A and B are shown apart, each in its own frame.
Chain A
């Protein structure tokens, strides 16, 4: 036998690389040295069978490749007895078999364990799913792609009032409702064909007892492992109550709670839709006359009851037109009006029914209404301020404006929109709105008419008169805008402006002495708590002496003046300012009353001056005024004869076209150089 060391080396060389788990060369050599010794022992001893453990050791060292055994036998076959080789081979085979069985057992056991775990997980998931299915808040049904219902949960049964048995096997596509969107069944067909995976819609159903439910329906397609449609899951949430509530809220949002009539918003959208569609319509805007009195005398409860009665009557009286409550005691009717006459007809009819007496809380109440009618057939004057164009709003405004005309014309009547009147009103509004800017830019300026001392025909003052310069250089007379300024509360600023500019201009001229600058003031101006201070401010600012200023008030303005405004006038009079009563002879002309006011001059109105039959009256008035210590000025003297008569009657001063026209500021100086008094005779 070969030397064991050399045998081990040859053995290692033969089998290295045949192990499935390669050993380091050193490890392999030491293993095979040990095994060679065991082989030698087996060959030399009495127990060749002990070589079996060598075969087993080879397997343990992962020489499980049959090639390992073949090479081993080649190397050692002729070195040890056949019985030893046989034992080695038997041990190797036994160990390999043991190992293979063990590994198979282990991997099988691992596979079973893994499968069991997976099944447990799946079972848990399924159990959870069953619980979810049974206890869900949603009604759930499963159907195959033919529409046959496979299973339903309890919630769905409760929802529909059917038992599970009544559901199963039925075709879910038969659960139709008249309100179904026709497109929905096409989408279900798409789902069955696998083109749609999810559908969500609101859908109504009939319950077993015939009542109706609304549901939020979600259909989900479940596919099999190959992706083919297999099951359709339907989840239904009962939204009946929610829809009812939504409907109620929608109604509430669009209706007036007191009368249940449509409200302004609903009316407006209906009107806008009609106009947008080009339908001819008419609008009748109504307002109860005297509703406030009912409220005040019988209470708000009675007022509400009256509004309900009126609403009911309007609804029947105007039927089929749309009646809405705009708020308060205002109602509106929308009429389909093909010939532009029907709306007025409807308006007159509803005014008639409103006029019928109403019994409220035992009281018989009679009310009337005023109505403004506007139709889409009549072009509406657009308010240029409002932009962009809103035809519905414009028609409403037109009807509202017309309603004001009906009210202004004496109530209980119907007015029809008139674009010319509206345009004129709008023009006035525009002019009124332009006044503050005209004051700021000086477009409104004082012009002057000379005051003449009748005794010698010489100028002794001038009246400042407001003029508004147009862009083309012509002028608006005060008649056009002073009234507007009064209506819009700008007359105070206008008067103050006139006073300041007149004084400032007068100071700049070298005027004869004495010279009175007479300026008109309005009642509104005098009622301003700061009136006295404002006048003094102008005098201080311009340097015009108080004694040379005369403020003119009309007789009626002065008669209304009392309390604080009177104190202001008295105070100004105390500082030397003259107070003149303008247009005397057109009002009460109560000289005695004037005595109690701080008036210093009476200006006789034009018509009073121009009528020759008044000579006796003029004489009496002038005499009386002088007796009271008042000066007298005659206005609108147009002829030499008038001037002479007045002078002879003792009238102190006069003004009018006979002496001087009204001059713009730059002409005043020149005009003062032209004395034009009538020649004195006797």
Chain B
């Protein structure tokens, strides 16, 4: 049964939250026992899960730096989770200087309350509580229009979040509508969990799809990820395993990169 509109969601510390579980993977302490218990179940299925989260953070850093080099200084981070260390506005400010503008979007009220406290003194970054699948309301949100000029290029970041959007919600359509909303064009950066060639990742996916999970998960193959971006121009190297997306020259590419349980891609949106 559908919950009534006014019922509080995500504020119960005894129920795990996607954002706090992710924080735990990243070694943070912004989490409660229920989050850690759930995360432990995932880690049993896929012990490398913590590293997966770290590689996602590393991809986020590389992607934001690359996009800054392409002239982007506005970022819309959808499904941002708890904006802790290594977050977009810090990376963006390092890469773009003080002109960088960032808006985070998450539906988790605790993550948003945390983000609001963290960003309260920062005029260049803000957080909006919204469901990223509500495309038009998100783009029309006053905080978004206060911080971002959609007539100039904007990078939409969907880091480790689209696998929480089921097929029934039409993730490809959601991407198309975000792209259509970028009047001044820009980019879409996506990282996505995948069990392709990684049987253990299937077990992790199953844990997310069990009762007691904060959210169901739909991992996708490289072809499916490419399908999500159909009609949008992919930047080289296209859809690749996350560590292989434009690695830093100085960093060693992990030997197991080819069986890393996730894909990354960045695409260019032409001005509307």
Task: Name the residue of chain B whose CB is nearest to the CB of A27.
Answer: B250
CB within 8 Å for A225 and B29 given contacts A22-B54, A110-B113? no
Q: Give, as a whole number of angstroms, the nearest-CB distance from B144 to chain A.
A: 20
Which residues of B lie under 8 Å from residue A173 when comparing CB positions? none
Task: Name the residue of chain A whose CB is nearest to the CB of B252.
Answer: A25
Which residues of A lie under 8 Å from residue B7 when comparing CB positions? 122
Q: Does A115 contact B (CB under 8 A)?
A: yes
Stretch at the interface among A96-104, A305-313, A366-374, A548-556: A96-104
Q: Give, as a whole number of angstroms, the nearest-CB distance from A120 to chain B.
A: 10
B29 x A24 contact (CB < 8 A): no
Q: Does B20 contact A (CB under 8 A)?
A: yes
CB within 8 Å for A106 and B30 given contacts A62-B85, A115-B8, A122-B7? yes
Extra inter-chain contacts (4) besides given A26-B250, A111-B13, A223-B1, CB under 8 Å: A21-B54, A24-B248, A25-B251, A110-B117
Q: Give, as a whole number of angstroms, the nearest-CB distance from A259 to chain B.
A: 60
A-B contact pairs, 26 of them (CB 8 A): A19-B54, A20-B50, A20-B53, A21-B26, A21-B27, A21-B85, A21-B86, A22-B55, A24-B250, A26-B250, A62-B85, A65-B27, A100-B29, A106-B117, A107-B30, A107-B110, A108-B13, A109-B113, A109-B117, A110-B111, A110-B114, A110-B117, A111-B113, A118-B8, A225-B1, A225-B3
- Number of A interface residues at 8 Å Cβ cutoff, please give it: 34
A103 x B1 contact (CB < 8 A): no
A106 x B26 contact (CB < 8 A): no
Select B32's contact among A100, A107, A117, beta carbons within 8 Å.
Answer: A107
Q: Does B11 contact A (CB under 8 A)?
A: yes
Which residues of B lie under 8 Å from residue A103 when comparing CB positions? 28-30, 84
Q: Does A114 contact B (CB under 8 A)?
A: yes
A118 x B109 contact (CB < 8 A): yes
Q: Does A393 contact B (CB under 8 A)?
A: no
Which residues of B lie under 8 Å from residue A119 when comparing CB positions? 8
Task: Name the residue of chain B whose CB is nearest to the CB of A29.
Answer: B250
Q: Roughly how many angstroms separate A503 CA and B20 CA in the complex, as a whole number?
A: 116
Q: Give, as a whole number of angstroms, the nearest-CB distance from B112 to chain A.
A: 7
A24 x B31 contact (CB < 8 A): no
B117 x A114 contact (CB < 8 A): no
Q: Mark out the residues of chain B between 45 and 102 whose CB falls within 8 Å of any chain A CB in the assembled complex.
A: 50, 53-55, 57-58, 82, 84-86
Q: Give, as a whole number of angstroms, the nearest-CB distance from A207 to chain B.
A: 34
Q: Mark out the residues of chain B between 184 and 204 whose CB falls within 8 Å of any chain A CB in the assembled complex.
A: none
B117 x A22 contact (CB < 8 A): no
B29 x A104 contact (CB < 8 A): yes
A113 x B113 contact (CB < 8 A): yes
Task: Name the residue of chain B whose CB is nearest to the CB of A223.
Answer: B1
Give per-residue flags for B126-158: 1 if the beta carbon is below 8 A from chain A beta carbons, else 0: 000000000000000000000000000000000
Interface SS, B side: loop
A62 x B86 contact (CB < 8 A): yes
Give per-residue flags for B235-272: 1 if the beta carbon is below 8 A from chain A beta carbons, else 0: 00000000000001011000000000000000000000
Which residues of B lie under 8 Å from residue A278 when comparing CB positions? none
Task: Name the residue of chain B whose CB is nearest to the CB of A111.
Answer: B110
Q: Does A471 contact B (CB under 8 A)?
A: no
Which residues of B lie under 8 Å from residue A24 when comparing CB positions? 248, 250-251
Tell me which of A108, A113, A126, A227 has the highest count of chain B C-beta atoms within 10 A of its own C-beta.
A113
Give per-residue flags for A297-336: 1 if the beta carbon is below 8 A from chain B beta carbons, else 0: 0000000000000000000000000000000000000000
B250 x A25 contact (CB < 8 A): yes
Q: How many A-B residue pairs have CB under 8 A?
A: 97
Q: Roughly how many angstroms separate A78 CA and B112 CA in the complex, as a whole number?
A: 47
Query: B residues engaging A (CB < 8 A)?
Result: 1, 3, 5-11, 13, 20, 23, 26-32, 50, 53-55, 57-58, 82, 84-86, 109-114, 116-118, 248, 250-251
Tell me which of B31, B54, B117 has the highest count of chain A C-beta atoms within 10 A of its own C-beta.
B54
A114 x B86 contact (CB < 8 A): no
B57 x A22 contact (CB < 8 A): yes
A107 x B29 contact (CB < 8 A): yes
Q: Mark out the residues of chain A between 445 and 504 whose CB falls within 8 Å of any chain B CB in the assembled complex.
A: none
B8 x A99 contact (CB < 8 A): no
B8 x A107 contact (CB < 8 A): no
Tell me which of B109, B113, B117 has the highest count of chain A C-beta atoms within 10 A of its own C-beta.
B113
Task: Name the residue of chain B whose CB is nearest to the CB of A61.
Answer: B85
Q: Give, as a whole number of angstroms, the nearest-CB distance from A225 to chain B.
A: 7
A20 x B250 contact (CB < 8 A): no
Q: Mark out the residues of chain A between 220 and 243 whose CB falls within 8 Å of any chain B CB in the assembled complex.
A: 223, 225-227
Give per-residue flags for A17-46: 1 if the beta carbon is below 8 A from chain B beta carbons, else 0: 001111011100000000000000000000
Task: Name the residue of chain A whose CB is nearest to the CB of B254.
Answer: A17
CB within 8 Å for A64 and B27 given contacts A24-B251, A114-B109, A117-B113? yes
Q: Roughly how many angstroms separate A100 CA and B250 CA in the complex, as a whole number?
A: 32
A99 x B251 contact (CB < 8 A): no
Which residues of B lie under 8 Å from residue A26 when comparing CB positions? 250
Which residues of B lie under 8 Å from residue A22 when comparing CB positions? 54-55, 57-58
Q: Does A533 contact B (CB under 8 A)?
A: no
A115 x B250 contact (CB < 8 A): no
Q: Give, as a whole number of angstroms, the nearest-CB distance from A62 to chain B.
A: 6
Q: Roughly how many angstroms separate A585 CA and B110 CA in the complex, as a whole number?
A: 124
Q: Roughly how many angstroms separate A21 CA and B90 CA in the complex, as a whole number?
A: 13
B11 x A115 contact (CB < 8 A): yes
Q: Give, as a whole number of angstroms, the nearest-CB distance from A351 to chain B.
A: 74
Q: Mark out the residues of chain A between 114 and 151 whose CB falls within 8 Å of any chain B CB in the assembled complex.
A: 114-115, 117-119, 121-122, 125-126
Q: Give, as a whole number of angstroms, the nearest-CB distance from A15 to chain B.
A: 14
Q: Roughly how many angstroms separate A106 CA and B8 CA in the complex, as a whole number?
A: 20
Which residues of A lie under 8 Å from residue B32 when comparing CB positions? 107, 111
Q: Mark out the residues of chain A between 172 and 220 whose CB falls within 8 Å of any chain B CB in the assembled complex.
A: none
